[in-house]
């Protein structure tokens, strides 16, 4: 019996064997799903990885999101919202390890997150040039039995939390060697909820996409088969019907003669009787295999909240304005929440939350965000024009704010002090004095 033949294999069964289908101990929290589809063993982390890397539609969805996420800009801000340009964390994430740049590290975060969970090992809580961090491959990460038993249990004391943080995990290399480290050095991010029975390992959206990916693979296989058979033909006699008792099947010599003539270089074939030639594949368009592949691509992208206009930009034409708006929505509603959660995990790990510092990731610097800023300026201009028109019509500012959803305030000018008579006379006298002085100067001039 093979694992592919069963409907469901309990985790306990694999643990009793001490093996998984890859020859390693079974990771906790993994289920073997219904084996009716081609991807029946994709409950395993490694199988999900192979699924994404081998299916064009799945890989396109993942790379599209990872490419855009890697363009995010990380910044650190103080309690007064002032950006700290030379904060140590910026240097740390710019050089996370000897093998990756900041952009590659951000790309990998989203890649593993889309598979379900991103486990980031951070060597120290002290930010320095010696500190390193890596995203760990989930199928190589072994969780001990003691932690598996506590996976869904609640913690109410700081002491219990500290004890659990000391639990030692294993990271197993291909050559069989291991790297051991405490749980407290692992920053875990989940794509979906981690409150479904395991605080340390959330579910994956690909669990819901098994059959969709299977359909996509079947469409690709069907197209491949039809293309291969498109150049092949069926040849048969047209002179004898199916009910003709005198008709017999072709002999081997006749079959071989037809093959030689069809595969030969001659264009004219003298035959004793008429034959009928048909293709194996008459019309591939009728099958609509290309449309089936695109539909599966949209289903996968939609499950990851990627707007349809963003997906269509890589398949068929779409207006530039719609594409840019869709990308902005993609950033605001899909990438930004995941980025905020990731940055918050760094704040907690390095104690920035207690220092009043905020680590943020933003895509405001990208050209597409300029469209949003232009729309924002237009909206503000319209609000000001509406405000002016409503105030001119005598509508109170309170009602104007309620209508526009704004909070404008109009400060009343200070009342002017009334000038007494002396001031008026002084003012008039000053003018008269000025005129008198001018006149006096003229009077003092000698007469001719």
3-state secondary structure 281-295: CCCHHHHCHHHHHHH
* pLDDT tens-digit series, residues 206-241: 988 988 988 888 877 777 766 666 666 656 665 555
Residue with tokens 């398949």: 315
User: Which of 290, 292, 365, 293 is closest to 71 using CA atoms?
Assistant: 365
Alpha carbon 21 to its chain's center: 30
Tokens read off for 46: 């490694």
Radius of gyration of the chain (CA): 38
Report residue 282's pLDDT band, with 50, 70 and 90 as the boundaries.
low
CA dihedral defined by 308, 313, 317, 323, rounded to 10 degrees?
A: 80
Pick 420 or 412 by higher pLDDT. 412
Helix, strand, coil content of the chain in percent (nearest 5): 50, 10, 40
Asked which of 146, 179, 204 is the last residue of a domain, the reply is 204
- Outline where DSSP puts E strands in 107-211: 117-122, 133-136, 141-142, 168-172, 178-182, 186-190
Please give the tally of structural domains in the chain.
2
Six token digits for residue 13: 């069964």
Tell me the CA end-to-end span of the chain in Å, nearest whole number: 137
Place of tokens 């694992």: 3
**How big is the CA angle at 279 (ends 274 and 282), to the nearest 5 degrees?**
125
How many whole angstroms separate alpha carbon 69 and alpha carbon 310? 14
If you average pLDDT over residues 334-347, what whole number do you get? 95
- How far is it, in rounded angstroms, from Cα 264 to Cα 217? 36
The two three-digit tokens of residue 417, written as one number = 């002090």
Which of 37, 447, 64 shows the shortest CA–CA distance to 214? 37
Among the candidates 166, 187, 204, a domain finishes at: 204
Find out whether 409 and 401 touch, Cβ atoms under 8 Å: no
| Strand boundaries in 16-148, DSSP class E | 73-77, 117-122, 133-136, 141-142
Q: Is residue 397 assigned to a domain?
A: yes
In angstroms, the Cα distances linking 70 to 109, 257, 346 are 9, 62, 17
> What is d(CA 50, CA 44) in angstroms, rounded to the nearest whole number?
10
- Asked if residue 140 lies in contact with residue 173, where contact means CB atoms within 8 angstroms, the answer is yes
Asked if residue 388 belongs to a domain, the reply is: yes
Its pTM stands at 0.68
Domain boundary among 154, 189, 204: 204
Q: Is residue 139 part of a domain?
A: yes
Q: What is the pLDDT of residue 311?
A: 86
User: Residue 298: which of 214, 191, 212 has the closest Cα?
Assistant: 212
pLDDT for position 137:
92
pLDDT of residue 283: 61
Residue 411 domain-assigned? Answer: yes
Measured distance CA(188)–CA(407) in Å, rounded: 41
Task: Tell me the three state secondary structure of residue 103.
Answer: helix
Q: Which helix (H) or strand (E) holds 145?
A: helix 145-149
DSSP string, 406-441: -----PPPPPPPPP-HHHHHHHHHHHHHHHHHHHHH
pLDDT of residue 432: 46
Pairing of β 117-122 and β 358-362 = unpaired
**Residue 38 pLDDT more than 60?**
no
Q: Could you tell me the pLDDT band of residue 279, with boundaries at 50, 70 and 90?
A: low
Q: Is residue 362 part of a domain?
A: no
Note whether 107 and 100 are within 8 A (CB): no
Give the least confident one: 167-176, 185-194, 292-301, 351-360. 292-301
DSSP state of 194: S
Helix, strand, or coil here: 292?
helix
Domain that holds residue 428: 367-442
19: pLDDT strictly greater than 80: no
Q: Which residues contact 302 (CB under 8 A, 6 or more apart)?
A: 308, 311
**Residue 412 resides in a domain:** yes
β-bridge partners, 180 = 170
Cα–Cα distance between 168 and 147 in angstroms, integer?
Answer: 9
Tell me which of 5-14, 386-395, 420-429 is least confident. 5-14
Give pLDDT, residue 221: 75
Residue 180 resides in a domain: yes
Token pair for residue 241? 């019907």
- C-beta separation of 151 from 199 below 8 A: yes
**Separation between Cα atoms, residue 289 and residue 300, nearest integer Å:** 17
Q: Cβ contacts of residue 350 below 8 Å, gap of 6+?
A: 89, 125, 127
In-domain check, residue 333: no
């Amino acid at each position: 019996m093979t694992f592919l033949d069963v409907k469901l294999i309990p985790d306990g069964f694999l643990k009793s064997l001490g093996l998984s289908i890859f020859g390693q101990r079974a990771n906790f929290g993994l289920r073997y799903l219904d084996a009716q589809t081609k991807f029946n063993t994709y409950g395993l982390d490694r199988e999900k990885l192979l699924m994404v890397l081998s299916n064009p539609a799945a890989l396109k969805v993942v790379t599209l999101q990872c490419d855009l996420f890697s363009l995010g800009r990380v910044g650190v801000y103080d309690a007064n919202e002032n950006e700290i340009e030379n904060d140590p964390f910026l240097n740390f994430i710019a050089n996370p390890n000897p093998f990756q740049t900041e952009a590659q590290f951000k790309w990998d975060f989203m890649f593993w997150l889309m598979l379900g969970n991103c486990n980031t090992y951070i060597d120290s809580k002290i930010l320095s040039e010696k500190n390193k961090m890596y995203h760990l491959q989930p199928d190589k990460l072994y969780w001990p039995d003691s932690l598996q038993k506590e996976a869904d249990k609640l913690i109410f004391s700081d002491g219990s939390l500290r004890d659990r943080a000391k639990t030692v995990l294993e990271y197993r290399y291909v050559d069989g060697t291991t790297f051991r480290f405490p749980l407290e050095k692992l920053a875990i991010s989940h794509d979906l909820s981690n409150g479904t029975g395991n605080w340390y390992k959330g579910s994956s959206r690909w669990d819901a996409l098994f059959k969709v990916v299977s359909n996509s693979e079947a469409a690709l296989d069907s197209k491949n088969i039809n293309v291969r058979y498109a150049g092949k033909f069926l040849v048969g006699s047209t002179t004898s019907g199916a009910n003709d008792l005198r008709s017999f099947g072709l002999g081997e010599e006749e079959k071989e003669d037809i093959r030689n003539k069809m595969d030969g270089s001659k264009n004219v074939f003298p035959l004793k009787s008429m034959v009928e030639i048909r293709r194996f594949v008459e019309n591939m368009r009728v099958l609509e295999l290309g449309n089936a592949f695109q539909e599966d691509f949209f289903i996968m992208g939609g499950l990851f909240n990627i707007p349809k206009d963003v997906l269509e930009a890589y398949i068929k034409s779409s207006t530039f304005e719609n594409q840019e708006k869709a990308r902005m929505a993609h950033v605001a509603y899909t990438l930004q929440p995941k980025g905020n959660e990731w940055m918050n995990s760094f704040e907690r790990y390095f104690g920035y939350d207690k220092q009043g510092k905020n680590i943020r990731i933003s895509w405001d610097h990208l050209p597409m965000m300029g469209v949003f800023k232009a729309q924002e300026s237009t909206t503000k201009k319209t609000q000001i024009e509406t405000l002016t028109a409503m105030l001119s019509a005598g509508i109170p500012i309170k009602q104007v704010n309620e209508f526009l959803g704004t909070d404008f305030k109009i400060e009343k000018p200070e009342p002017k002090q009334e000038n007494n008579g002396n001031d008026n006379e002084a003012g008039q006298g000053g003018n008269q004095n000025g005129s008198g002085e001018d006149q006096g100067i003229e009077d003092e001039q000698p007469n001719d």
